[in-house]
Structures are given as C-alpha cells and as structure tokens.
Amino acid sequence: MRKGLQYAATPGIADLLEWIKMLQKAIHNPPTMGITDPQRQLDVLVTSGSQDAICKTMEACIEKGQNILMECPSYPGTLGIVKPLGPNIIEVKSDKDGIDPAHLKQILSKWNPSDAKDKDSELPRLLYIIPNGGNPTGASLTLKRKKEIYKIAQTYDLLILEDDPYFYLQFNNPYIPSFLSMDEDGRVVRFDSFSKLLSGGARVGFVTGPKAVLERIGLHMQVSVMHASGLSQVCIHTVLESMGLEGFKNHALKVADFYRRQSEACVAAAEKHLTGLAEWAAPSGGMFLWMKLLNIEDSYTLITEKARAAEVLFVPGRVFYADDTKATPYIRVSYSVVSPELMDKGFERLARLLREETKH
C-alpha cells in the first residue's frame, strides 16, 4: 500500500513492470528484447488501460492530413481518438480471417517503397490492426496473413500498431503468434490490457514497443496522467504475483473457455431465430459477433430506436467505420455478460422486428 499510495515513476511501478516484461518474454519472446540499438530496443510502459496507450500513441504519431491505414471495420474507441487528429484514414478491408493483405498491398502500390525514406512523401506510416477476436468482427488474423502483412510493413517501413486486448481470448490453441513475436525490426507497437482477464475498472494496460516511440508516449503521460494509478498497479501486481506465470496462463485459458462457450450459445441462439434474416461468421475469439441484417439497407434506426424500445441492445454497424454517416446493414452483438436464456430472448425480439421491417 505504501508503494501504491505514493507518486510513482511514469513507466509504472517497478514490480509490475518487471512482471510484465517477464510475461512478454514468456509469451511472445520478442526479437527486440535482444536489440542493443536504443532507438529500437524493446520498452514497456504501464498505462491507464490500453485505451490511454492507444490515445497517446496516436497523438504522438499522427499529423493533420497524414494518410494512415486502419483495419475496417474497427474499434470505435480508436476511431474516436484518431478522427479529431484529422488524418486521412485509409480503411483496409477485412474478412473472417482478419485484415486482407491483398487489399493492403493494392492500397500501397500507389507509392514506391523508396518513398518511405522521403519524409515529405504521403506514403502512410502507420497500420492499425486488431489481430485477435476483433472488435467488432470477432475475427482473428491467420499466421499466414500476419507474416505477409509484416513483410509488407518492412517493404514500406510501416509502424504496426497491434491492438490486442483479446489475445488471451483466442478460442483456439496454441495462440496465433503476435506481430511482436516476429518483430525483428522494432516496428511493432503492441497494446495489451488486463481488462479482459482481471479487471476493466482497475484501468491497467501496457504498451510494448521500440524505445523511440515509447519515450514520446512517456513524455505525454508525464504531462497528462503522470502515471497509471499506483493503487491499481499494486492490486494487479499482487494478483499476478499470487498467480505466478503458470497460474496466469491457466486463468487465461479458463477465461477464454468461458467466452468460447458464450460465443457458442450466442451462435446457437442466432441460428435458431435469425436464419434467413441475418448472416454472420462464428467468432474465433473475443466477445463480439458481427452480424449482417438481410434485406436491410441501414441498421441504424432499427437498432437505436425499435430494438431499444423492444429492450434489446446492439450497436449499429455505422459507428465501426471512419465515415459513421454511411449506411450499413451490420450490427455488433456483445455476448460477454448475457445468459444463454437472454441471448435467446434478445434474438427472438430482433427476429420479430426484422420480420416487421422486411414484411417476412
């Protein structure tokens, strides 16, 4: 408590930082841990949730008018950070296997790889990806695609922002290796979170990446939050210390198993009530199902007015795109805290609304 109640160093409380570095080594074994070049050497910062790490990274790296590459559809919490900074967001298509390397290559073919050396070039510098259990898609990027994307990032000298709060919520084992685990160049900035495994309210996340980038984020923190909550850090560290690495890994597997069972119940309820009225791909991780409503042009009013009045909540698909005025028939379903019985009720209500809407 003495440590937790006193001001702490910006990067985080030493005990927790040490535990996190041990975890990153054990799980990802990043090549950058061995790099001696101070600019590229791996560093870690504890942040107020990974949300704050993403926010400070975008503030440090994005200039108005600059082209940036973002997985699409994407997490509204990141779109909400990025859009006010005024970049030109280039949306990279994704499917049930994550972001599409072919589309990424096609977008970048507009430039020459040599443009990466020209600081005035409009070549995008950042690629933002949610590799596992995507929000909103529930999709996980295959290893084959990850390797292809890392090579493209090397060719065009991109910084990969690996936003991965659902890494431990992958339903399949072994885990698909992270971009950090293949980062021989020091071009991956990885955002992790304790929200999905231990506590969202503690607001403890961490960013792992090359010193050159993390130093800037650290300076932002010094003049904004100074450091993540000392009390939260001490609580999280105490739990991690009591679990130990093996205990943490077993706990993560149990949490993933819970969400896998939730996703299976969600898909079963969808099949029962929405077959013929909607389409979806079973999630491979995380806590979301991305659903396309059939014979519907735009889900927005149906979801924000009629479904809400029928007391069933979804998120309309519009908010997951850079242009949130564009019509889309998609909705995001969250199954994390809903019982199978309530999933059944919720989809039954949605099915009734869809039949009324499409006169089925």
Stretch touching ligand 09M by CB under 6 A, among 36-44, 47-55, 144-152, 232-240: 47-55
Is residue 98 part of the contact set for ligand 09M (CB under 6 A)? no
Tell me the closest approach of the beta carbon of residue 243 to ligand 09M, in angstroms: 19
Is residue 284 part of the contact set for ligand 09M (CB under 6 A)? no
Query: Looking only at Cα atoms, what is the longest distance across the chain?
Result: 66
- Determine the Cα angle at 340 with ends 335 and 344, to 5°: 95
Is residue 163 part of the contact set for ligand 09M (CB under 6 A)? yes
Secondary structure (3-state) at 104: helix
Kindly determine how many residues on this chain lie close enough to bind ligand 09M according to the rule CB under 6 A: 13
List 10, 50, 137, 299, residue binding ligand 09M (CB under 6 A): 50
Tell me the closest approach of the beta carbon of residue 77 to ligand 09M, in angstroms: 5
CB 73 within 8 A of CB 47: no
CB 141 within 8 A of CB 104: no
Give the residue from 87, 206, 134, 135 showing the smallest Cα distance to 145. Answer: 134
Stretch touching ligand 09M by CB under 6 A, among 45-53, 63-71, 139-147, 242-250: 45-53
**Cα(247)–Cα(259) distance, rounded to whole angstroms?**
19
H and E: helices and strands count for the chain: 11, 13
Is residue 124 part of the contact set for ligand 09M (CB under 6 A)? no
Tell me the closest approach of the beta carbon of residue 234 to ligand 09M, in angstroms: 18
Is residue 44 part of the contact set for ligand 09M (CB under 6 A)? no
- Determine the Cα angle at 19 with ends 15 and 24, to 5°: 145
Tell me the closest approach of the beta carbon of residue 49 to ligand 09M, in angstroms: 3
Q: Is 154 left (phi over 0), alpha (psi -120 to 50) or beta?
A: alpha
Secondary structure (3-state) at 6: coil
| Binding characters for ligand 09M, 187-226, by CB under 6 A (x = yes) | ------x-x----x----x---------------------
Binding residues for ligand 09M (CB under 6 A):
49-51, 75, 77, 130, 135, 163, 165, 193, 195, 200, 205
